[in-house]
Amino acid sequence: MAIHEKALIEDERLQQHDELVVDGVDVSGHWNTMIAPRTVRDYDDDFETKIQSFAGGENVHRCWQCGSCTNSCTMYAQNVQFNPRYWIYLTRLGMKEELVKDKDIIWQCVSCNKCTNICPKDVKPEGVMKALAHWMEEEGITEKAPSTIFDEEFADQIYKTGRIEDSKVMQNFFKKTGQPLVQEWMKIFIFRMMKHLPVKHLMAMGINTVHTPRTKSWGKTGDVLKNYVREQKEAAHG
Amino acid sequence: MAKVAYYPGCALEGSGGPYDRSTRVLVKALGLEMENLRDYNCCGAMEVKNIHPMLQTYLSARNMAIASEQMGMDTVMAPCNGCYHNLKKAEYETATSQDAMDTVQDLARKSDDPVYTGDVRTLHLLEWLMEELGPEGIKQKMTKSLNGIKIANYYGCMYTRPRQIFPEKDNGPGSDSSYQPHFMDDLLGAAGAVNVDFPLKTSCCGGAHTLSDSDTSTQLVLNLLQSAEDSGAEVIATECPTCHSGLEMHQVRAETEFGIKTDVKVVYFTQLLGLAMGLSPRKLGIHENVSDSIGLLKEKGVI
């Protein structure tokens, strides 16, 4: 048959022939493209359970493949390769190899919650995206995504003081991701910001970077939370 | 009148300073009362739940416990969408899962923190203003008008989604809609603004990846800015410090890196309401916004 939606098939599985005779019938021209058949044998039966053990992936088994998540997705509107419905499908089948093909974009989910809002089965696809990204980092398939570095930077500061301080989070983030702290657009932005800020506020921001704001009664809370998370993770990942 | 604890959160102490200051002077000018939430902790923003969801639930529960147990308040009010979203989520999860409630209380006892029992409600600043005053109350207290300035009201993601955690929304007249929120429109409309028909009210600004995926954020912010301009807006009114900084940052980035210039101004809704109350622009921190709206506001006779 003629294949018009070639974008849906991987290049390596499309077979084209200039001249083709099948069973004595010449099918050259419009009918000369075939899709190589394949049998999937490399699926991992335990993969769904694995993803359920990561924060956010708990409900992945509920998915009915309706596609509401992808349909409403902010990132899908930017890039049609960003397809939560498909990734959840692969997760449930245990087709890790296929998933890993998209390792460079899965972390880009912006957590706008349009999918979680619309999902008729309470899968929380946004959480599944985070779970998949974390699984890939843990397996060493991807470097730590910039957003994970951000997550950890945030959590670390909260464990320590109960509070965060934006300029410090930003500095550490740029340091850890190896981005130059001073980018051209940043310079212009900061210049415009400084132009009008009252001196008192600038001083307060400066003082904040030296003396991070603290929750005075934080006491044991940070350590208790840290221990709890460690215990939970050990229980989940064995 | 509700006994309200004011929870500014970390962003309003840093980059969202003008939002914090304008909120405080506005609340005072409107004759409302609130007390600072004592010695609060960060809500965990959008980041901490990715480390472990309970971490985020606990952080918000701890803040609510401080308000009710230590201060005797019945309401926690947050102007920041991130804080508000996390408070709501913690409220929802502990109300619908005994297991979550038990864990929260257990962690509190281990940490010697006040114990959350679910006897405190959480509100966004918008909801509080609607509850106490509403459009009519605003009209009565106005000394000036926004003089028909054209506004695109931008609510962002966290104020409305996922709708499951906001049981008080979508409840007919008097409640806000999670699909087409209108509380900010109502308040600013009462103060004399013209609300344009803005289709991207609850679209995403990419705030979660403002720095880690700048190109995506710039694209999403450009969508918002250009759509607002196409709708005829002169100003985008914001009610979230992260959206506000994101819009300002990526407006500058789009201009410097890609040469795409947009003229629409980004202003906190509290600053706009404050102007209608006759408060001084300096007190409202309008000069502190990176997006320079002074010229436009003068031209409109609002300043």
How high is the mean pLDDT in each 10-residue block of chain A (238 residues)?
Answer: 70 82 82 81 93 94 97 96 96 94 94 97 96 92 76 83 75 69 74 69 61 77 90 80
Instruction: Identify the band that residue B113 occupies on the pLDDT scale cut at 50, 70 and 90.
Output: very high
For residue B131, tell me if it sits in a domain: no
Closest-CA distance of chain B to residue A51, Å: 13
For A110-124, A177-191, B114-128, B192-206, which range has the lowest pLDDT when averaged over its residues? A177-191
Are residues B119 and B181 both part of a single domain? Answer: no
For residue B80, tell me if it sits in a domain: yes
Are residues B55 and B111 both part of a single domain? Answer: yes
Closest-CA distance of chain A to residue B28, Å: 21
Are residues B66 and B97 both part of a single domain? Answer: yes
Nearest to B206 among A56, A110, A153 (CB): A110
A150 touches A173 (CB < 8 A): yes
Length of chain B: 303
User: Nearest chain A Cα to B156, which residue?
Assistant: A112
For residue B50, tell me if it sits in a domain: yes
pLDDT for the residue numbered A181: 60
Are residues B150 and B285 both part of a single domain? Answer: yes
For residue B39, tell me if it sits in a domain: yes
Domain of residue B74 covers: 4-123
pLDDT for the residue numbered B102: 97
Using CA atoms, how far apart are residues A159 and A215, in angstroms rounded to an integer? Answer: 11
Asked if the model's pLDDT at residue B237 lies above 70, the reply is yes
Q: Bigger pLDDT: A150 or B252?
A: B252
pLDDT for the residue numbered A203: 64
CATH of the domain at B43: 1.20.1050.140
pLDDT for the residue numbered A220: 87
pLDDT for the residue numbered B248: 96
Nearest to A162 among B42, B207, B249 (CB): B42
Grouping H, G, I as helix, E, B as strand and the rest as coil, residue B195 is strand
Asked if the model's pLDDT at residue B275 lies above 70, the reply is yes
Q: Is the CB of B15 inside 8 Å of chain A's CB atoms?
A: yes
User: A124: which 2 tokens?
Assistant: 């929380």
Are residues B247 and B210 both part of a single domain? Answer: yes
Of the residues A171, A196, A226, the best mutation for testing chain B's interface (the one with the most B CB atoms within 10 Å of its CB) is: A196
Closest-CA distance of chain A to residue B45, Å: 9
Q: Is the CB of B44 inside 8 Å of chain A's CB atoms?
A: yes
Q: Is the CB of B150 inside 8 Å of chain A's CB atoms?
A: no
pLDDT for the residue numbered A2: 64
Residues of A in Cβ contact (< 8 Å) with B203: 74, 112
Q: In B231-259, which positions are buried (b, 16+ CB within 10 angstroms) versus exposed (e)?
A: bebbbbbbbbbbbbbbbbbbbbbbebbee
Closest-CA distance of chain A to residue B130, Å: 25
Nearest to B50 among A110, A112, A151 (CB): A151
For residue B128, tell me if it sits in a domain: no
User: Nearest chain B Cα to A54, which residue?
Assistant: B52
A66 touches A45 (CB < 8 A): no
Are residues B151 and B119 both part of a single domain? Answer: no
Q: Is the CB of B215 inside 8 Å of chain A's CB atoms?
A: no
For residue B135, tell me if it sits in a domain: no
The position carrying tokens 């506005």 is B26
Residues of B in Cβ contact (< 8 Å) with A108: 209, 213, 216
pLDDT for the residue numbered A17: 81
Q: Is A154 left (phi over 0), alpha (psi -120 to 50) or beta?
A: alpha
CATH of the domain at B261: 3.40.50.11810
User: B31: which 2 tokens?
Assistant: 């004759």
Of all residues in chain B, what percent carry a pLDDT higher than 90?
91
**What phi and psi values does residue B6 have, to the nearest 5 degrees?**
-90, 120
Domain boundary at B123, B157, B185, which?
Answer: B123
pTM as predicted:
0.89
Are residues B294 and B254 both part of a single domain? Answer: yes
pLDDT tens per residue across span B55-90: 999 999 999 999 999 999 999 999 999 999 999 999
For residue B68, tell me if it sits in a domain: yes
- Which are the contacts of A141, defined by CB distance < 8 A and separation ≥ 6? A100, A103
Residues of A in Cβ contact (< 8 Å) with B52: 55, 228-229, 232-233
Are residues B51 and B161 both part of a single domain? Answer: no
State how many domains chain B has.
Answer: 2
Mean predicted confidence (pLDDT) in B126-144: 96
pLDDT for the residue numbered A106: 95
Are residues B210 and B274 both part of a single domain? Answer: yes
**What phi and psi values does residue A26 have, to the nearest 5 degrees?**
-80, 115
Q: What is the CA radius of gyration of chain B?
A: 19
User: Nearest chain A Cα to B9, which residue?
Assistant: A163
pLDDT for the residue numbered B286: 94
Are residues B162 and B295 both part of a single domain? Answer: yes
For residue B139, tell me if it sits in a domain: no
Intra-chain end-to-end CA distance of chain A, in Å: 50
Domain boundary at B123, B155, B183, which?
Answer: B123
Closest-CA distance of chain B to residue A146, Å: 5
The position carrying tokens 């952080």 is B59
Are residues B44 and B82 both part of a single domain? Answer: yes
Mean predicted confidence (pLDDT) in B119-138: 96
Are residues B118 and B151 both part of a single domain? Answer: no
Using CA atoms, how far apart are residues B106 and B123, in angstroms rounded to an integer? Answer: 26
Could you tell me how many helices (H) and strands (E) chain B has, helices first?
A: 12, 8
pLDDT for the residue numbered A22: 83
Q: Is the CB of B93 inside 8 Å of chain A's CB atoms?
A: no
pLDDT for the residue numbered A206: 60
Domain boundary at B123, B155, B185, which?
Answer: B123
